[in-house]
Amino acid sequence: MTFTQNIGKKLKPLRQAILKHPFITGVGQGTLPIEKFKFYVRQDYLYLIDYSRILALASAKAPDLDTMGWFARLLHETLGTEMELHRSYCAEFNITRRELEETPVAPTTRSYTAYLGMVAHQHTFHELVAALLPCQWGYWEIGDHLIRTGLPENAPLYSKWIQMYASDEFKSLADWTRSLADRLGEDASSTQVHGMEKAYLTSLRYEYLFWDMSYTQETWPL
Q: Is 45 a member of any domain?
A: yes
Q: Is 219 a member of any domain?
A: no
Evaluate if residue 203 carries a pLDDT over 90: yes
Q: Is 57 a member of any domain?
A: yes
Q: Cite the active site residues.
A: 135, 207
Q: Is 220 a member of any domain?
A: no
pLDDT category, 198, cuts 50, 70, 90?
very high
Q: Is 222 a member of any domain?
A: no
pLDDT at residue 96, rounded to an integer: 86
pLDDT at residue 122, rounded to an integer: 95
- Which CATH number do you get for residue 124? 1.20.910.10
The residue range of the domain holding 34 is 3-214
Q: How far apart are CA 89 and CA 28, in angstroms?
A: 17
pTM across the whole model:
0.94
pLDDT at residue 18, rounded to an integer: 97
8-24 pLDDT per residue, tens: 999 999 999 999 999 99
156-181 pLDDT per residue, tens: 999 999 998 999 988 998 999 999 99
pLDDT, average across residues 38-51: 93
Q: How many domains does the chain have?
A: 1
pLDDT category, 2, cuts 50, 70, 90?
very high
Calculated CA dihedral for residues 93, 98, 104, 109, nearest 10 degrees = 80
